[in-house]
Chain A
Amino acid sequence: MNNKLFEKYFVFSPYFWLVLFFFIPLAIIFKISISVSEWGMPPYQDIFLFDNGLNINTTFENYVYIFSDYYYIRSFVNSLILALISTFFCLLIGFPLAFYIATSNIRLRNILLVLVVIPFWSSFLLRVYAWKIILQNNGILNLILLNLGITSEPLQLLYNQYAVIMGIVYTYLPLMILPLYGYLNKFDLNLIDASKDLGLNRFKTFFKVILPLSVPGIVAGSLLVFIPVVGEFIIPEMLGGSDRLYYGKILWEEFFVNRNWPGASALAFTGIIILVLPIVIFQILYSRWSQRNEI
């Protein structure tokens, strides 16, 4: 293989990956979502039937169903709100942390970065389970609160949406910190001094200089948190209550409890479209904006 050809293949390899592991599965899911369900294995009928010539056996019933049932729409909305709130808190906690790490001296910086990454070394399931132990009625947190006399009876800390948000923020925080750090690391600290020198106090310097120049890092970190949280299943399942339905949970149930593969596929496909389309539009607008502003 000559070099040029190799380069070509090498450059396009991410696209092969994307086609193989994203577009083809997506097409399969779409195919299942428009087929008719039946009892059996697999639990749906083929799209193409060859009884008397070619018959196309499809239905869009599942999509109609999703959008006519308030139950599904509400779970979508719940998941989007959950993702928004979690991303917001990740940003709120992650930004100062990332900024502190990026501006501290090299030795402290490396220690802090390792501390950020360390949770990844243990199983995600175990870590979420640990929160369950901490938050449960006779858990450590309640024990401390009781002994300090802050509360007279154990608080219901677990199985509600606050526990879910906390668990998600805890789990996804490194995904916010690392891209932010990567960006803030390149930040010229003289710009902060320059802004102060020109008469802006710390607060104004943050909003006029630090924040606008951190937008690419904020966008990267937020997308990295927001996208997976929308489909998050395990954390709401383990820490959440039955009061709130999330998209990931419903998807799981359709697939594995109801064994309604076409319905579940329609749900999955809708979810991807609902999630991907705004992000694609956002990315296009954002890249235009950043080109204009040369950030």
Chain B
Amino acid sequence: MDKNFLVIENISKTFGENKVLENINLEISKSEFFGLLGSSGSGKTTLLRILGGFEKPDTGRVILDGVDITNLEPFDRPLNYMFQSYALFPHLNVFNNLAFGIKENSSQKEIERNVRDIANLLSIENLLNRRIKQLSGGEQQRVALGRCLIKKPKLLLLDEPLAALDKKLRSKTQLELTTLQKKLQITFVFVTHDQEEAMSLSDRMAIMKNGIILECSSPEEIYENPKSLYTANFIGIANIIEIYKKGENIYSDDLGINFKLNKEFKNIKTNILLRPEKIKIQSINNSKISSLNSFNGEILEKSYLGSFTRYEIKIKNKIISVLDQNSHSNSNYNFLKGEKVICSWESESIKVLED
């Protein structure tokens, strides 16, 4: 696998006074499904537009498959861009939207064949004569995707590919998109503000904030071992607890407890991350306390989410979130609001956030 299929080198971009991107470096492999995740204003869309050729970077280079494409116009780049609004041509029907990019250099026969093939692939054969206005959101998304894929791009850029779809359709399309990408082996780079979307689609993802990349790794790695406080908070639910060294021990004022930690940290003070599903809760009557990190708490809030129940538990001054899987056949295992419980976790589940 070509490790340096798409290389983004020292890209910076300023709009007026506003530094949108600062020294971005990324290497994306061939056939990778790569996500750029960030809140609005993080510069993720600007980066995608630079890849598409719609913006010119102030500094830096973009190299695709060994070719420097930094100064190429969008129409000279061997890649395609799927717009968040899809940007389908309202004056053309589905067939002509799909054929738009290949009409120039193909015979009528080739056009027909290619359009049929792509329509089959995306199961939109029955829509070819429709006008764009007659399509549902999901259908429009397929046409937009087909219009790009018919060009057989080396790289497909997707701007918030699922944002315009309703929730149920989104999870279905998510699955289809990953299947399609693995089948076609085209490199996908997409932008999203939705962490769930980023996690479920990406092979690897980059977290962006204020024009810089905070972290770039696989979704599992970013969720389990985030390097920064921002990432820990941004991805999933996070219990962040401030701890400091107190002689030999490690102490948290919020929880009022001593910690066992099997990891060293440099500073005197730091934050630790405890994911809600790593915490076990037991009834206070249950006498056998297994772990060393176990503490008394009281259940403040409880929300039943089907496969999980989410508890907000107060331990001294701190409220922490706990996700408890409802794997028991007996609903009596659910705890009640106001119930005193014992929370415990393994030392290994505690992640130290150095930044």
Which residues of A sit under 8 angstroms from B81, Cβ to Cβ? 193-194, 197
Cβ of B88 to closest chain A Cβ, rounded Å? 8
Q: Is B131 an interface residue (CB 8 A)?
A: yes
Contact A193 B80, beta carbon cutoff 8 Å:
no
User: Which B48-68 residues have a C-beta within 8 angstroms of A?
Assistant: 52-54
**Given A199-B151, A295-B91, are A194 and B104 also a contact pair (CB < 8 Å)?**
no
Which residues of B sit under 8 angstroms from A201, Cβ to Cβ? 73, 75
Closest residue of B by beta carbon distance from A294: B131
C-alpha gap A200/B89 in the complex (Å): 14
Cβ of B29 to closest chain A Cβ, rounded Å? 23
Closest residue of B by beta carbon distance from A215: B91
C-alpha gap A250/B250 in the complex (Å): 102
C-alpha gap A200/B80 in the complex (Å): 12
User: Which B79-133 residues have a C-beta within 8 angstroms of A?
Assistant: 80-81, 83, 85, 87-91, 100-101, 104, 131-133
Which residues of B sit under 8 angstroms from A188, Cβ to Cβ? 85, 87
- State the majority secondary structure of interface residues on A: helix
Which residues of B sit under 8 angstroms from A56, Cβ to Cβ? none
Contact B90 A193, beta carbon cutoff 8 Å:
no
User: Which A279-295 residues have a C-beta within 8 angstroms of B?
Assistant: 293-295
Contact A194 B75, beta carbon cutoff 8 Å:
no
**Given A188-B85, A190-B83, are A197 and B91 also a contact pair (CB < 8 Å)?**
no
Closest residue of B by beta carbon distance from A191: B87
C-alpha gap A199/B89 in the complex (Å): 15
Cβ of B182 to closest chain A Cβ, rounded Å? 24
Q: Mark A79-101, 1 if CB is under 8 A from B, else 0.
A: 00000000000000000000000
- State the majority secondary structure of interface residues on B: loop
**Given A201-B75, A294-B131, are A194 and B90 also a contact pair (CB < 8 Å)?**
no
Contact A213 B91, beta carbon cutoff 8 Å:
yes
Q: Is A58 an interface residue (CB 8 A)?
A: no
Contact B147 A198, beta carbon cutoff 8 Å:
yes
Which residues of A sit under 8 angstroms from B80, Cβ to Cβ? 197-198
C-alpha gap A198/B78 in the complex (Å): 10
C-alpha gap A155/B83 in the complex (Å): 56
Q: Is A74 an interface residue (CB 8 A)?
A: no
**Given A293-B91, A295-B91, are A190 and B75 also a contact pair (CB < 8 Å)?**
no
Choose one: A197, A213, A293, A295; the contact of B75 (CB below 8 Å).
A197
Which residues of B sit under 8 angstroms from A213, Cβ to Cβ? 89-91
Q: Is B74 an interface residue (CB 8 A)?
A: yes
Closest residue of A by beta carbon distance from B132: A294
Q: Is A196 an interface residue (CB 8 A)?
A: yes
Q: Mark A155-199, 1 if CB is under 8 A from B, else 0.
A: 000000000000000000000000000000000101101111111
Contact A194 B91, beta carbon cutoff 8 Å:
no
Q: Is A24 an interface residue (CB 8 A)?
A: no
C-alpha gap A293/B89 in the complex (Å): 11
Closest residue of B by beta carbon distance from A204: B104
Q: Is A119 an interface residue (CB 8 A)?
A: no
Which residues of B sit under 8 angstroms from A194, Cβ to Cβ? 81, 83, 87-89
What is B's interface to A at a CB cutoff of 8 Å? 52-54, 73-75, 77, 80-81, 83, 85, 87-91, 100-101, 104, 131-133, 147-148, 151
